[in-house]
Amino acid sequence: MFRYPPEITSILAPLVVVQGLGEDKLLFKHTSSPEFPKDQQIRLHDPDSPDNPLSRLLSNPDTIERRLPTVQVASGLELAHVLKEHSLDSEYWYKNDDKKHLSFKFKFAGSTFQLPNHVERTEDDHSAGSDEADSTSPISPFNPDSPCYGSILPLEWIQKYRELLPSVFIAVHEVDAESDENDKTLALELNDTREKLAKHGIKFVCLLLCSSPSTPELEERVATLRKTTSLPSKTGILVLPAGSQKELESFAGVLMALIRPWCIEYYASQEKKVKRQQLMDASYDEKFWLARQALKSAVLGELKGVTEQSTKLMEYSYEKLIDVIRSISLDTQPERWQECRLLLDFAGIHITRGYLVLENANMAYKKFDIHLQNILSVLPPRSLKSYPVISWIALQLTWLAQLVEKCPESIVPIERPFQQHSSPKWFGNAADGLPMPHGGYIYLQACSLVHRREIQAASGVDIYDTYMALSPDEEKQFDYHGTRVRLLSHALELFTKAKKTKFNRSESYVYFQLGEEYFGMDNYSMAANNFLVALSVFKNEKWNQIVAAILFRLFQCCVKLGNNRDAQVHRLQLCTLEDRFVAQFRDELAQEVPIDEPLVLKEPLFESHVVFKHRSVSLHEKVHFQLYLRPLVNSLVSELIVERVDIAFAGDEFQIVVENDALPSTPFNIVQDGRANLDFSDRQAKVLQFELHPEKIGKFTVDGVRLVLRSGALSFENQLVSVCESRDRLKWYRASSSGLNKPFEYDIVNGMQNGFEVIPKPPEVDFRVSHASIAYKGEKVPITVHVGNLDENTFGLRLHATGKLAATSLRVTWGDEAAHSTNYRVPEPLRPQDSADVELFAYLPLAETDGDTVKIDLQIDYLIDNNDNTVVRKTKPLQIPVVDLFKTSFKIYPSLASHIPSLFDVSAADVVAVPSHDRCWRSKLGIENVSAEDVAISNVCVEINKTTPETVMETTFTDIPVSQLSAKSIGDGWFEFRCRCADGVFKRSMALELYLSFDYVLLGRPQSLTNQYKVLLWKGTLPHMDPRALVSVDDAEDALHVTYVIENPTSRIFQFSTTLSTSENFKIRNYRNQHNFSVLPFMKQVMRLQYEQLAGEEWTKLPEFRIYDLNYKIYLNAQPTSERLQARTDGLYVRK
């Protein structure tokens, strides 16, 4: 952007003059350094400069003169800095995207500010009522004495609105809270300023700053000032007393929100004036006039804010400028041609930025592309390859990239190469233009064009258009390298901003290009640094042609810097690439580069494999392995001799050294005396085979293979990296037996790379594991491990076991070890013919395990000669199906033994307002043995776990006579428990859990192991405070006695009614329906009925007996209290 004046590139923001805080140059430090090397630029003189035609407007100005001193309170300087943060001076993007609607161009004036004379200023508008012949405006195209005569719209017209004509004038004054001495002077000055500004249609506001907090006296003085000056009470004078920084920022926000509509109103009035203007000079080209008026409207529209409407106005002006440039010729009207080119760039920048502000990046790029096409279409084809045109295109791409760089990520994301197309709102395809590229790629394109500019400038192509171009002589002095370095640096900065997406290849390309530029600038150290950064990615991607170019540049840089050691390293790296990539560098690489210090090359010059024929061998057996070496060098290396091969093993157990000897050269070599022919000048592979004699057991690995090489006069070391092959395709080479010119043949072996293991000889043993065919839930499963020594030698025995059931790890212990130990060592070593039997126990959980399998992993360590360091390890997996051993059943009935204490039975020692009742429950449980084995059961226990707080539960009766269950048999029993609330507490219901636990022994097993079993019998909630009806039956000689008990444990009085339905199975002897009988609080009501059974089966339905209260709408279902009664959906049944 630096090549254009700010009138072209900056965002057009309303000019607001602030007087009283000091001048711009005194308030703020202005430091600027050129971002790019010097190039052709366009600059305007300051408005008060004699070289600027606008200075004539100030020859007889309206001067706003300040007589009172500048504000000295601290809040004045702070306010200036807050306003400056919102000021757009030469910025081409907003400082704060969230507050771009509050953007202004604040100009801080000194004690005087000059406004152009109102009469002279309006003459350049050339309205229909003005006389063309008398037009004297210094920037009017109708003034023959003006340097702008015949122009379309000089940039000074835009400069006038950016520098001379404010939309709002702010006068800042300090109020002394202690004295009103200056109040009259202040009032006179405010009146004078207001009157002068009113002639120009400029809004005026006064800010009063005070170093003290607000007081009633100060408020009264301000009110007097408002009356004296006739300024609006709320908007004419604003007062800022002493306060915090937050209050100051809030005050500034209120001020800017206040003046924003005034600015829009001011430029809207100017826009109306423009629309009223008519062309009165017949000699002036009408296309010029239309373009001029359209540009004025577009500029004034953008001064009101960048909106869709202002962007459309700018597009319209662009179209009119295109009409102009197509109607004129560079040969006949060079000045108008140059002006039109500049105005087209102005419109292009503002249109592109407008769509970016509107968050349509793709449309912005489309408009940018149209701008390029339009300009190139009006230029002669022969000039398109000239350096001025290429320079101009590079300039356009540069300002586009700078805009994209400033844009927030929400508009142009930096995480992807191209902006995505937006989805259409209704139907059809997206029409938002070309996809906007990543800003880094735009910078790279501009850099490429600068390179083309350099080529074309040197080619001597004829120049047609010199717009924004240096002269041929100046072009020769242009700093192309510096320009490209700046563009590449910006591209790199944008690429590295991405956090989620990595532009590794693009970044490496930029580093490569930076290296080239620094190399061209003879800055070889910087060039080498950038080449080294670029090298890694290209090498990993195997882009060998670029790798070759980078390595060659690194070689050149090191030679230039006198770093011969690194130069030789890069030369050797070039020797590993294919000939087609390095052939062009052969001559320069052949130069002598002597070095005096040892040279170590980290990159391998050989493809190498270290393969051991067998993965493991027994102690004292021979180990055979091979080292395969194939040179990776190209024809740059005419001689390559390995002087020495060092094969290092971890732990220094083995050290193998092979030295070169003038023996016959063969591809396959069995090395016995540490010597072999290691001449690889023919670039053919060799295999070296070795034999080792291990003296102890363990794992042995190759740490590395180091070569000492010689190539001509150069000696160096190379550390090889053994390339891993497929484990199923390890090659074991042998000398070729055929005459087909094969260097060697190979077999596929199941060996190992880079290591082997020496293990002791496994002893001969009798190993058996015995256990039950199935296991039961909750059982402690016994497993017997038998080990017999059938060998001639003695060995120690160490056992380890782990168990799992599904995904759950099991507790596993050995018979005579601690309960938590999974390891066991036989105390005495096993001599020949000795044996040991060890018991292992796996504890199964009581969780649901049907269908699962216990998995036990046994690890057996044979300690040869009872030595802990000589171990032969074997494993034995076990699997035992798990089934359920028991099934339980459970039934619960209410008991008639429930107790409700009388309200009138009050103990003097324990007086409570409401008695606490209890309820008894009678339960039946069943234990079924579902296995095929007999089981002895003991210690049967029922545990009650209450989950409702402040309740009491206790067992009152237990009768579970189960001691032995044969296979597939069932045992049952009864128990009762009582529930009540704690004193003074009332719970409507009680939640509880019932657990059954017992010990059992599986009869008929060799081990009489006692196992524990525990199961959740029932979990639920029992009602406690609700009224209920219980029913029980008893047999008499001639009738069935049925007893109904109504319990009312509440404080309410119920009015129950009963009805008894007739039945064909029973004859009712003693009952009539009752109506509205009372059951008092905390009382029971007993009703006894006698039925004579007439017919029926095993289960007979009783006559339906209904108990209900119509007031509370309660219906009590009769609850059975024994097994003889059964409640069904259609009624109550009794068993004979």
pLDDT tens digit string along 40-68? 899 999 998 999 999 998 888 899 999 99
Q: Provide the residue type at 690 as one letter.
A: F
Domain 1028-1135 has CATH 2.60.40.10: yes
Per-residue pLDDT, 938 = 93
The residue to which tokens 């009035």 are assigned: 269
Confidence of residue 165 (pLDDT cuts 50, 70, 90): very high
pLDDT of residue 959 exceeding 70: yes
Q: Is the pLDDT at 452 greater than 60, yes or no?
A: yes
What is the CA 172 to chain-centroid distance, rounded? 49
**CB-based contact 744:734 (threshold 8 Å):** yes
CA distance 969 to 932: 10
Kindly tell me if the per-residue pLDDT of 1048 is higher than 80: yes
SS3 content of the chain, % helix, strand, coil (to 5): 30, 30, 40
The contacts of residue 761 (CB under 8 Å, 6+ apart) are: 618, 619, 864, 872
pLDDT digits (tens, 9 = 90+) for 788-827: 999 888 889 999 899 888 888 888 888 755 555 788 888 8
Residue 869 has pLDDT above 90, yes or no: no
Give which of 53, 45, 52 is closest to 6, Cα–Cα: 45
For the four alpha carbons of 541, 543, 544 and 547, in that order, the dihedral sign comes to: negative
User: Residue 637 has which token pair?
Assistant: 């290396």
Q: Tell me the domain boundaries of the chain.
A: 11-29+60-124+154-276, 380-502, 504-589, 600-759, 765-878, 886-1023, 1028-1135
Task: Return the pLDDT at 178.
Answer: 77
- CA-to-CA dists, residue 1105 to 819, 1027, 1031, 1077, angstroms: 62, 17, 10, 15
Architecture of domain 504-589: Alpha Horseshoe (1.25)
pLDDT band of 422, cuts 50, 70, 90: low
The pLDDT score that the predictor gives to residue 134 is 38
Alpha carbons 143 and 150: distance in angstroms, whole number: 8
Of 463 and 1108, the structure prediction assigns the larger pLDDT to 1108
Q: For residue 645, is pLDDT > 50?
A: yes
Q: State the distance between the two ends of the chain, measured CA to CA, in whole angstroms.
A: 108
Contact between 80 and 240 under an 8 Å Cβ cutoff? The reply is no
Q: What is the pLDDT of residue 1097?
A: 86
The residue among 269, 171, 166, 165 whose CA lies nearest residue 229 is 171
Q: Please, what is the average pLDDT of the chain?
A: 89
- How far apart (Å, rounded) are the C-alpha atoms in residues 341 and 4? 12
Averaged pLDDT, 497-506: 89
- 728 pLDDT exceeds 80? no
pLDDT over threshold 90, residue 625: yes
pLDDT at 731 exceeding the cut of 80: yes
Name the more confident of 843 and 325: 325
Residue type, 400: L
Note the CATH number of domain 886-1023. Answer: 2.60.40
pLDDT at 496: 92
User: Quick one: pLDDT at residue 575?
Assistant: 94
**pLDDT computed for residue 346 by the predictor:** 97
Contact (CB, 8 A) for 306 and 353? yes
Residue 118's pLDDT is 57
Report the pLDDT averaged over residues 775-793: 88
Position 1006 scores a pLDDT of 79
pLDDT of residue 989: 92
pLDDT tens-place string over residues 960-995: 999 899 999 999 999 999 999 988 788 899 999 999
Q: Specify the range with the lowest mean pLDDT, choosing from 430-439, 984-993, 1127-1136.
A: 430-439
Share of the chain above pLDDT 90, in %: 60
* Max Cα distance, the chain (Å): 143
Alpha-carbon gap, residue 576 to 163, rounded angstroms:
66
Q: What is the mean pLDDT of residues 412-429?
A: 63
d(CA 549, CA 583): 11
Lowest-pLDDT range of 270-279, 797-806, 895-904: 895-904
Report whether 864 contacts 1091 (CB < 8 A): no
**Inter-residue contact 128 to 281 (CB < 8 Å):** no
Question: Which pLDDT score is estimated for 425?
Answer: 39
Is 300 exposed, middle or buried, given 0-12, 13-18 or 19+ CB atoms closer than 10 A? buried
Higher pLDDT among residues 117 and 7, named by residue: 7
CATH 1.10.1760 fits 11-29+60-124+154-276, yes or no: no
Q: What is the pTM of this model?
A: 0.67
Enter the tokens of residue 740: 């087909």
What is the model's pLDDT at position 415? Answer: 87
- 3 state DSSP class of 53: helix
**Spacing of C-alpha 44 from chain mean position:** 48
Kindly calculate the radius of gyration of the chain based on its CA atoms and give it in whole angstroms: 52
Q: Which range, of 118-122, 1005-1009, 1067-1071, averages the lowest pLDDT?
A: 118-122
Residues 547-588 have pLDDT tens digits of 999 999 999 999 999 999 999 999 999 999 999 999 999 999
- pLDDT given at position 725: 60
DSSP element (H, E) containing 196: helix 183-199
Distance CA 5, CA 684 (A): 68
Examine the pLDDT at 511 and tell me if it is beyond 50.
yes
Report whether 17 contacts 169 (CB < 8 A): yes
- Tens digit of each residue's pLDDT (9 = 90 or more) over 1017-1043: 999 999 999 999 999 999 888 889 999
Tens digit of pLDDT for each residue in 589-606? 988 888 888 899 988 999
Structure tokens at 942: 């029922």
Q: Per-residue pLDDT averaged across 878-900, rounded?
A: 90
Distance CA(229)–CA(590), nearest Å, equals: 91
**pLDDT (mean) for 818-841:** 84
- By the 10 Å C-beta count (0-12 exposed, 13-18 middle, 19+ buried), 160 is classed as buried
Buried/exposed 971-1008: b ≥16 CB within 10 Å, e otherwise: bbbbbbbbbbbeeeeebeebebebebebebbbeeeeee
Q: Name the token pair of 688.
A: 């070296």
In order, the DSSP letters of 213-261 are: ---HHHHHHHHHHHHHHT--TTTTEEEE-S--HHHHHHHHHHHHHHHHH
Q: Which residues pair with 114 in a beta bridge?
A: 63
User: C-alpha dihedral over 596, 597, 601, 605, to 10 degrees?
Assistant: 40
Distance (Å, rounded) from C-alpha 6 to C-alpha 88? Answer: 11
Report the pLDDT averaged over residues 828-845.
Answer: 89
Predicted pLDDT at 426: 34
Q: What angle do CA 983, 987, 993 make, to 5 degrees?
A: 105
- Is the separation of the CB atoms in 625 and 647 below 8 Å? no
Which of 546, 459, 556 lies closest to 505 in space, CA to CA? 546
**Cα(654)–Cα(701) distance, integer angstroms:** 10
Of 309, 68, 292, the closest CA to residue 171 belongs to 68
**Residue 242 — pLDDT band, cuts 50, 70, 90?**
confident
**849 has a pLDDT exceeding 80:** no
Checking 590-597 for CB contacts under 8 A at 24+ apart, the result is 591/559, 593/559, 593/564, 593/567, 593/568, 594/564, 594/713, 595/564, 595/565, 595/568, 595/714, 597/565
833 secondary structure, DSSP code: T
Do 1028-1135 and 765-878 fall under one CATH topology? yes
Q: At the top level of CATH, which class does the domain 765-878 belong to?
A: mainly beta
Q: Residue 174, exposed/middle/buried by CB under 10 A (0-12, 13-18, 19+)?
A: buried
